[in-house]
A = this chain, B = another copy of it.
Amino acid sequence: MLRTVTSLSLSGSAKGSLTRSPAALTTTRKISRSHPAFQGKAQISTASLSEDELKSLQVDRNRLMNDIHHTCQWGTGKRWGSQTTETGMSRLALSDTDKQARDWFVQTTKSLGCSVTVDAMGNTFAIRPGRHEAPPTCAGSHLDTQPTGGRYDGILGIHAGIEMLKVLQDHNLETEYPVGVVNWTNEEGARFPISMVASGVWAEEISLERAHNLGEVGGGTATMKSELERIGYLGSVPASHRSMPIAAHFELHIEQGPILEAEKQKIGVVQGVQAYKWFTIDVAGRDAHTGTTPFSARADAMLTAARLIAHSHRVAAKHSALASTGVLTLSPGSVNTIPGNVRFSLDIRSPVDATVEAVEAQLRKDFAAIASGGNADDPSFPQTSKHKLAVDWTTDTTSAAVNFHPDCIAAVRAAAGSVLGDEGLVRDMVSGAGHDSVYASRRCPTSMIFVPCRNGVSHNPEEHTSPEDCAIGAEVLMHSVLRYDQLRAQRERR
C-alpha cells in the first residue's frame, strides 16, 4: 500500500514550499496582529489560494510524528516493542501527566499565534485569528487516554490540528475566519466514568453539576471539579457552546476498527456514528451442586446466559447489526456449583436507530422464552429442565444514530480526494465508537476523518498508525478546515 501514495512526497519538509508570485501577494490584504507570531509578516489569505496552490499545502510528517512522540513522554505506558516509541500510553484525564500535556498544548498554540480559552470543564480552545471575527472552524479531539491505551487515539487528532497551525504559520497564511484546535476533557471516560463528558457539557446535553461531581473510578475521592482545580484547568468561561461557539468541528481519528486496513484504503469519510444501546442482563436461577443435581432439577444461570449470548449474535447477524458481551460475572463462582446468578453486558449497535430497536425487541422476546425453558435459539437444543429462570434487563445507555453535516462531509471528501488523488483510497464510513464529534455535531456542522490503524487495534498499548497514514490524515484534516473556511467565505459573499 505504501507505493500507491508515494507520489504525495509527504516525507519531505513542507515548510516554506508554497511559493507565490509578488503579484499575487500584493492582492492579499496585509494584516498586523499584536501577537509576535504575526508581527511584521505578510499574510496570505487562504481564500485567495488557487485550487492548485491549496493542493500543494502539505504537512510536515517528521515534525508531526516528533511532536506526537514528544508529548507521549507524559503518561508513557506499557512497552510492547524495542523501539523508543514502542510503548503505550496511560494518561488519565486531569492527572499530573495530563496537566503536562495540556501545558504543552497551551504553550505551543500560544506560540503559534492562538488565543487560548479554558472553560469550566477544562476544555481548551486554541484559536488562531482569521480575517473576520466569527466563531472558529475547529479541529478537535482529546489528549487523555485509556489506562492501557496507545499513542494515537485522540492524540493524533490534536497534533494534526497543531500541525495545521504550524503549516499556516510557515506559509504566512491567513484564513478568512478563525481556525482553532480544541482539546476536549476526559473523552475516554476512563477516569471519570462518562465518555465525552466535557463536550457533552459544552453541548448542554450533560449538566455541569453532574459532570463536576463525577468521582474518579477505583475508589479515590477526587471529583472532576477537584481535579480541574488541582491541575489549574478549571476555567472561568462557562462550558457551553453559547460562550464558546464553534462554526464547524472536524476530527481526525484512528478508525479503531479493521475496515480501512482490510480494504487497503487510506481515508474514511465519516458520515455519522452508529446508534447503540447498552444493557445489563441479569439471569437468576438457583445455585446447586454440579454433581448431585440432575439436569431436570437445574435452573442453571450460566447455561442460560451462554445461550442468550450466542442467540444475541444470531439475531444481530440477521439484522446486519452488532451485538457484543464484554463483561460477565457470576456467583457464587465455584467449579462444583452451578451458578444461580449471572450478569452480563449486552451492547447492540447499528447505523440505523430502528434496527437497534428491532434487535432489542426480538431479543427481549427470545430471552424470556429461552429462560422459560423454550428453545427459541435452536429448535434442536435439548429441553432438559422445566425450571424457569428470570431474565432482567437494565438499559444503561441509549445513544441515537448521529448523522454528520453534509457540508463537513463534502469538505472531507474533497480534501481526501485532493490529498490522495485516488478515489479508490477513500471510503464513506460510519463510526462505530463515540467521539467528541457526536456532541459537537449537536451544536455545529461536524464530520470526522478516519485513518487506518494496524489490525484495527485500539485502546491497547500496541495501537499503531504508520507515520505516512498519520500525515495523510493530518493533511486531509487541514484541507478540510481550509475548504470549509473557503465555503464560509463563498457563502458570505453571496
A contacts, CB < 8 Å to B? 148, 255-259, 262, 274, 276, 278, 286-295, 297, 300, 302-303, 305-307, 309-310, 313-314, 316-318, 322, 324-328, 330, 332-339, 345, 347, 349, 378, 380-382, 384, 396, 431-434, 455-460
Q: Tell me the nearest residue of chain B to A259, going by C-beta.
A: B294
Contact A289 to B257, CB < 8 A, known contacts A302-B309, A309-B303: yes
Contacts of A256 in B (CB 8 A): 289, 291-292
Alpha-carbon distance A307/B457, docked complex (angstroms): 25
* A305 and B306 contacting across the interface, CB-CB below 8 Å: yes
Q: Which of B257, B339, B345 contacts A335 (CB 8 A)?
A: B345
Closest 6 A/B residue pairs (Cβ): A257-B292, A291-B432, A292-B432, A290-B324, A306-B309, A306-B306
- With the chains together, A359 CA to B488 CA distance in Å? 70
In the complex, the answer to whether A290 meets B322 with C-beta atoms within 8 Å is yes
Q: Assess whether A310 is in contact with B307, with CB atoms less than 8 Å apart.
A: yes
Q: Is the CB of A291 within 8 A of B276?
A: yes
The answer, among B297, B317, B318, for a CB contact under 8 Å with A258, is B297
Q: A294-B322, A325-B339 are in contact. List 6 more A-B contacts (CB 8 A).
A: A256-B289, A256-B292, A258-B288, A289-B458, A290-B347, A295-B322
Enumerate chain B residues within 8 angstroms of A339, measured Cβ to Cβ.
325-326
Judging by beta carbons under 8 Å apart, are A333 and B322 in contact? no
Chain B contacts for A460, CB-based, 8 A: 287
8 Å CB contact of A432 from B289, B305, B307, B458: B289
Residue in chain B with minimal CB distance to A396: B335
Provide a sorted-by-A list of 18 A–B residue pairs whose CB atoms are within 8 angstroms: A148-B332, A258-B292, A258-B294, A258-B297, A262-B297, A287-B459, A290-B322, A290-B432, A291-B432, A293-B432, A303-B325, A306-B309, A306-B325, A310-B310, A326-B339, A335-B347, A337-B459, A378-B381
CB of A205, distance to nearest CB on chain B (Å): 19
Copies of this chain, complex-wide, total 2
- Shortest A245–chain B CB gap in Å is 29
How long is the Cα–Cα vector from A258 to B333 in the complex, in angstroms? 21
The answer to whether B322 and A326 have CB atoms under 8 Å apart is no
The minimal Cβ–Cβ distance linking A283 to chain B, given in whole angstroms, is 12
How far apart sit A324 and B455, CA to CA, in the bound complex (Å)? 35
Task: List residues of chain B with CB within 8 A of the CB of A326.
Answer: 290, 302, 330, 333-339
Determine which of B257, B336, B338, B381 lies in contact with A293 in the assembled complex, contact meaning CB atoms within 8 Å.
B257
Chain B neighbourhood of A314, CB < 8 A:
381-382
Interface centre among A278, A288, A316, A318 (most CB of B within 10 A): A288
Shortest distance between the CB of A388 and any CB in chain B (Å): 15
**How far apart are A359's CB and chain B's nearest CB, in angstroms?**
13
Q: Is the CB of B290 within 8 A of A349?
A: yes
**Are B327 and A328 touching (Cβ within 8 A)?**
no
Residue of B nearest to A334 (CB): B326
In the bound complex, CA of A286 to CA of B294 (Å): 36
Docked CA distance A258–B431 (Å): 52
Residue of chain B at shortest CB distance from A347: B290
Contacts of A292 in B (CB 8 A): 255-258, 431-433, 456, 458
